[in-house]
A and B are shown apart, each in its own frame.
Chain A
Amino acid sequence: MSNTMEAVASAARADAPPAIMLDKVNKWYGAMHVLRDVSLNVALGERLVVCGPSGSGKSTLIRCINRLETHQEGSIKVDGIELSDDLRALDAIRREVGMVFQSFNLFPHLTILENCTLAPIWVRHMPKAEAEALAMQYLERVKIPEQAKKYPGQLSGGQQQRVAIARALCMKPKIMLFDEPTSALDPEMIKEVLEVMVSLAETGMTMVCVTHEMGFARQVADRVVFMDRGEIVEQGPPGEIFENPRTDRLKLFLSQILRGH
């Protein structure tokens, strides 16, 4: 994808209301202050990568976006809907936001196909035949239609994670959240999952990815957010963040990441 095309695309998106708006979000686990005044807007169609050392609050941040965790101060709006205790708002948001977990969390008692059709049938009230056709379409996109009748326990980690992506996509979400989708995988499996994510990014899906895969960030991210100790330290286009880190904290983090690879 060329740089000019991306610039045009992001200019077009600038007028649309942001898909996700976080305003001075604070969260504590017991006495531990894990999110500190985090403010962040994600535009429709934007691909955002969140990185940072472990324990920096990045997973907590994206889990707050679909309210798997509750924040205690500040406000979060997804698709214009404010997150609160209101269950109807929560239902609406969960329908629009798909999530992929680090540990896949496929349902071991259901087949691959059943994993994918569960939510379309029971949440979207889609007829089974239609849901199955949809599921097969997405399974083809993640390149494992032939495994549809198997159970998660019979698949490799990379295959399971691709199923998890297909399962989330079957709900036709407007926004996809990825919580370290590749950190539980072997290197050759990381590649197959990243390929799926890149192709998804090319369709214009709004994506928020917590990941350490710098190559992926460079290739698809519109913006990289660096978090440390519960706050956003730096953000900008991937080139800028990786080539010219301004803060010592980011420099330290990047040097550790690069040494690790």
Chain B
Amino acid sequence: MSQTSIDPRSLRAPPKRPIKLSWSDERVRGIFWQVVVVGIVVSMVWWLWSNTVHNLEVRRIATGFGFLGREAGLPIAESLIDYNPTNSYLRALMVGLLNTLKVAVVGIILATVFGTLIGIARLSKNWVLRTLSATYVEVIRDLPLLLQLLFWYAILQGLPGPRQALHPAEGVFLSNRGLKLPWIQWEGAHSLALVAFLLGLVATIMYRRQALAKQIADGVPRAVWPVALVCLVALPLAAWAALGAPFTPDIPALRGFNFQGGLTLSPEYFALLAGLVMYTAGFIAEIVRAGIQAVPNGQREAAQALGLRPGAVLRLVVLPQALRVIVPPMTSQYLNITKNSSLAVAIGYQDIVSIANTTLNQTGQAIEGIAIIMLVYLTISLSISGFMNWYNARIALVER
């Protein structure tokens, strides 16, 4: 056969198999079952829907999201944005969403740090540390989170009032009004210093990447720490000093029956955060431990035998493999923190669920209220799981 001529067989399209309208045809059966199942589901949904429409008419419940623009009239104790009860429901829900994110984001960071430490402690050579962390993980995971939240809240409420507040360190007060921490009077210079620090952090990370890339290219190792020192310490300090280096400590102090000044964590926020962090840290610890143990010892030995220093062994060999095991379940724990923050409603922290719940009680529009809750969480969940699928596909091991 010559190179140019085309094999006539390759021109033939696969024959189309005609659908035989017979029960013995696999595709007919497939279509039949799909029609049956979808039919049942659709008719059930239609039945429920028509009942609902009828009930709403009978009970004269309004529908639609028009209520969002109305005055909410519900007081909210803590808020990240300006809010007062004359604002609209929409703004109240925004406050709730921000409160959810406030507890979820701080919770995720703290739980990751705390959980990773416990997970590493579970693998420690030190018997006391190992046993203590194992006990912690076992106990904390066997108790309902809601119970733990109520327990912490009960402890906080059982604390003495501001006048007899626990005072473990200068400027730190723990009372039934929550936790008070010393802070500083925030001024423009501090914001600028913070911005400088963040810019410095980005610059350091970029410099480090470049330095490593250059080292890969020409082999000359470059020290990163001088640049880090300049960007992370000197730059923010310079920015702060340039604006006159203002520093006014804002230390909480007892005035009459309550505290003034300082940073406040309300008892509700504190109990919710502490409960979520301690509970989730128990799960994260197990994930981290499993991830570290999933890297066979031979990998570490082989890297050592090649002469890699401990830091490089961790960075180049152990972590890339451990993260593969850690990241997917870790993501679902982050998702769990976000979803579990909805338990706030039980101890009176006003998150999105709590405010949506109040809204639906006040307006009677249950369907819209629950739809808002679900929509918010679905958006968060689906975006995180979308990210996770992308990440998993990216890091999957190639095997034959």
Give the residue name and chain of the A residue nearest to B218 (CB). A127
A107 to B308, CA, bound (A): 13
- The segment out of A28-36, A41-49, A96-104, A215-223 that lies at the interface is A96-104
B298-323 interface with A by 8 A CB criterion? 298-299, 301-309, 312, 316-317, 320-321
Q: In the complex the two chains form, is A119's CB within 8 Å of B307's CB?
A: yes
Interface string of B288-299 (1 = CB under 8 A from A): 000000001011
Give the residue name and chain of the A residue nearest to B398 (CB). A151
Q: In the complex the two chains form, is B299's CB within 8 Å of A126's CB?
A: no
Interface string of B54-86 (1 = CB under 8 A from A): 000000000000000000000000000000000
Q: In the complex the two chains form, is A109's CB within 8 Å of B305's CB?
A: no
Residue of B219, B307, B399, B400 near A127 (CB, 8 A) is B219
Residue of A94, A103, A122, A127 near B305 (CB, 8 A) is A94
- Please, which residues of chain B bring their CB within 8 A of the CB of A127? 216-219
Q: How many residues of A contact B (CB 8 A)?
A: 36
Asked whether any CB of chain B lies closer than 8 Å to the CB of A130, the reply is: yes
- Please, which residues of chain B bring their CB within 8 A of the CB of A99? 302, 305
- Please, which residues of chain A bring their CB within 8 A of the CB of B317? 107, 118
Residue of B217, B299, B399 near A128 (CB, 8 A) is B217
Question: Chain B's nearest CB lies how many Å from the CB of A51?
Answer: 22
Residue of B216, B217, B397 near A151 (CB, 8 A) is B397
Q: In the complex the two chains form, is B399's CB within 8 Å of A123's CB?
A: no
Greatest chain A CB density within 10 A among B221, B305, B324, B400 is at: B305
Q: In the complex the two chains form, is A167's CB within 8 Å of B306's CB?
A: yes
A98 to B307, CA, bound (A): 9
Give the residue name and chain of the A residue nearest to B306 (CB). A119
Asked whether any CB of chain A lies closer than 8 Å to the CB of B185, the reply is: no
For chain B, what secondary structure do more than half of its interface residues adopt (helix, strand, loop), or is it mixed?
helix
Asked whether any CB of chain A lies closer than 8 Å to the CB of B215, the reply is: yes
Asked whether any CB of chain B lies closer than 8 Å to the CB of A204, the reply is: no
- Please, which residues of chain A bring their CB within 8 A of the CB of B306? 94, 98, 118-119, 123, 167-168, 171
Asked whether any CB of chain A lies closer than 8 Å to the CB of B169, the reply is: no
- Please, which residues of chain A bring their CB within 8 A of the CB of B299? 105, 107
Give the residue name and chain of the B residue nearest to A66 (CB). B305
Asked whether any CB of chain A lies closer than 8 Å to the CB of B13, the reply is: no
Question: Chain B's nearest CB lies how many Å from the CB of A14?
Answer: 29
Q: In the complex the two chains form, is A151's CB within 8 Å of B301's CB?
A: no
A103 to B297, CA, bound (A): 11
Known: A109-B397, A119-B308. A129 touches B302 (CB 8 A): no
Asked whether any CB of chain A lies closer than 8 Å to the CB of B371, the reply is: no
A123 to B217, CA, bound (A): 14
Q: In the complex the two chains form, is A153's CB within 8 Å of B305's CB?
A: no
Known: A108-B397, A127-B217, A153-B398. A95 touches B307 (CB 8 A): yes
Asked whether any CB of chain B lies closer than 8 Å to the CB of A121, the reply is: yes
Question: Chain B's nearest CB lies how many Å from the CB of A68?
Answer: 5
B129-186 interface with A by 8 A CB criterion? none
Q: In the complex the two chains form, is A122's CB within 8 Å of B220's CB?
A: no
A196 to B137, CA, bound (A): 50
Interface string of B97-141 (1 = CB under 8 A from A): 000000000000000000000000000000000000000000000
A122 to B160, CA, bound (A): 58
Asked whether any CB of chain B lies closer than 8 Å to the CB of A154, the reply is: yes
Q: In the complex the two chains form, is B298's CB within 8 Å of A103's CB?
A: yes
A103 to B216, CA, bound (A): 29
Interface string of A64-100 (1 = CB under 8 A from B): 0010100000000000000000000001001101110
Across chains A and B, which 10 residue pairs bring their CB atoms closest together, nearest first? A153-B399, A105-B302, A94-B307, A119-B306, A151-B398, A99-B305, A105-B298, A127-B219, A154-B400, A125-B219
Interface residues of A (CB under 8 A from B): 66, 68, 91, 94-95, 97-99, 101, 103, 105-109, 118-119, 121-130, 150-151, 153-155, 164, 167-168, 171
Interface residues of B (CB under 8 A from A): 215-221, 296, 298-299, 301-309, 312, 316-317, 320-321, 324, 395, 397-400
Can you list 5 A-B pairs with a CB-CB distance of less than 8 A?
A91-B309, A123-B308, A127-B216, A128-B219, A130-B219
Given contacts A66-B305, A94-B305, 18 further A-B contacts (CB under 8 A): A99-B302, A99-B305, A101-B298, A105-B299, A105-B301, A107-B321, A108-B397, A109-B321, A118-B308, A119-B308, A121-B215, A122-B312, A125-B219, A128-B217, A128-B219, A151-B399, A154-B398, A164-B302
